[in-house]
Amino acid sequence: MSKIYQNRKFAIRRLRDSAIAKKTKIKRRSFLKGAGLISVLVGGGLVWRACAQGVFSVGEGIAYEPWKDWQTYENKDPLALVSAAILAANPHNTQPWLFQVSDSRIDLYADTKRQIGSTDPFLREMHIGLGCALENLLLAADAKGFDRQLTLMPEQKNLTHVARIDLSAGSTSESELYKAIPLRHTNRGIYDKNRSLSQETLQALEKLGNNESEVKVFWFTTETERRQLGNSIVEATQAIISDRQQSQDSGKWMRLSWQDLQKYRDGLTLDASGSPALIRAIAKMLPPTSLEQNDLFWLDATRKVHVSTVAAFGILAVSDGNNKSLSTT
């Protein structure tokens, strides 16, 4: 009896343990199903977020149409010249230009509402951008079969009237620089430290300014020169972000969301930050960063990426037309 009792007791304990295990299995199975559902929902949410933020649409959308459509205009169409001009380099991608176009003339104006405020108090950067647009326009004029007559600052009393280009029929001359217009970009990523700049390359770049008597190019290639100039650039960046007004004037041109990029079609984007593709994708998925975080990222990239990996610094110096005492020597 005792043995039977013990066996029955053992059997009861096994039945009880089995029931607990069965309940545990059911709960675990339910949990796994729930976890799977949550994973699907979270995964679906991440995919939706990625699509909404343009992770899979780099270089797509209405903001990028000018790069795709810039050669759709026929020869002898002045708009073909403007379509090339608007692809020019310009500060913070503010696109500070206005064009007045007729069949025989294009007038280029500065749009002073589209500039970076206290970061560019003398409008130096804005006019550099306008000069780049004008250069593209002239290259396109040659490629599209126009003779062009350039007049800089045609109105003494209207300093926003930057240039007038009179057009007439001419021959077609498509240069390598013209072909490079849609390929131009600003590298904000790491430079290849294993590749050095040859003296021949530096000398060839210096000669680009030989046709302009008041333009000179200076190169800084030694380790000491690069360290000294690099430190100055980092200090200047620190000074800019430490100035609240400059930081705000610059920061308002940040387009951190896909929606803002497509809405405004200007400004600085994550895709132009120079960060690796995976980092950019993750950044797009996260909530927008603050102005202070953006400033610190810029300072860190300046110190650890741009300055520390560069092979040479070049300075393009232009004499001040209003003050000859500042002419380059």
Residue 218 sits in which domain range? Answer: 199-326
Q: Is 192 domain-assigned?
A: no
Contact 164, 154 (CB under 8 A): yes
Q: How far apart are the first and last CA of the chain?
A: 116
Query: Is residue 149 in some structural domain?
Result: yes
| One domain, residues 248 and 146 | no
Clarify whether residues 318 and 203 are in a common domain.
yes
d(CA 25, CA 20) in angstroms, rounded, equals 9
Distant-in-sequence, close-in-space partners of 217: CB < 8 Å, separation ≥ 6: 205, 206, 208, 209, 314, 315, 316, 317
How confident is the model at residue 12, as a pLDDT? 37
Contact indicator for 315, 220 with CB cutoff of 8 Å:
yes
Distances (CA, A) of 221 to 15, 196, 309: 83, 10, 12
* Encoded tokens for 280: 């950019």
Does residue 305 share a domain with residue 286?
yes
Domain boundary residue, one of 150, 183, 216 = 183
Better-scored residue on pLDDT, 137 or 191: 137
- In a shared domain, residues 156 and 254: no
Angle (deg, nearest 10), helices 2-52 and 277-285: 100
- Residue with more model confidence, 17 or 238: 238
Q: What are the φ and ψ backbone dihedral angles of 150, each rounded to 5 degrees?
A: -100, 135
pLDDT of residue 217: 86
- Domain stops at, among 122, 151, 183: 183
Q: Contact at 8 Å (CB) between 128 and 91?
A: yes
Over the stretch 115-130, which tens digit does the pLDDT of each residue have? Answer: 999 999 999 999 999 9
Count the neighbouring beta carbons within 10 Å of the beta carbon of residue 106: 23
Residue 69 lies in a domain: yes
Of all helices (H) and strands (E), which one includes residue 80? Answer: helix 78-85
Confidence category of residue 322, pLDDT binned at 50, 70, 90: low
- Domain boundary (148, 183, 218) is at 183
In a domain, 70, yes or no: yes
Residues 44 and 82 in one domain: no
Residue 113 pLDDT exceeds 80: yes
Q: Residue 190 falls within a domain, yes or no?
A: no
Mean pLDDT of 63-74: 91
Indicate if 206 and 310 belong to the same structural domain: yes
Q: What is the CATH number of the domain that holds 71?
A: 3.40.109.10
Same domain, 204 and 316: yes
- The answer to whether residues 172 and 232 belong to one domain is no
Q: What pLDDT does 180 receive?
A: 96
Q: What is the rounded CA–CA span in Å between residue 217 and residue 325?
A: 19
Say what the pLDDT of residue 214 is: 80
Residues 76 and 133 in one domain: yes
* Residue 34: band (very low, low, confident or very high) from pLDDT cuts 50, 70, 90: low
pLDDT in tens, 164-216: 999 999 999 999 999 999 999 888 899 887 888 888 988 888 887 677 778 88
Q: Are residues 88 and 42 in the same domain?
A: no
Number of domains in the chain: 3
Domain assignment present for residue 47? The answer is yes
* Residues 61, 67: Cα–Cα separation, whole Å: 11
Q: Is the pLDDT of residue 105 over 80?
A: yes
Is residue 171 domain-shared with residue 206, that is, in the same domain?
no
Higher pLDDT, residue 47 or 132: 132
169 and 146 in contact (C-beta within 8 Å)?
yes
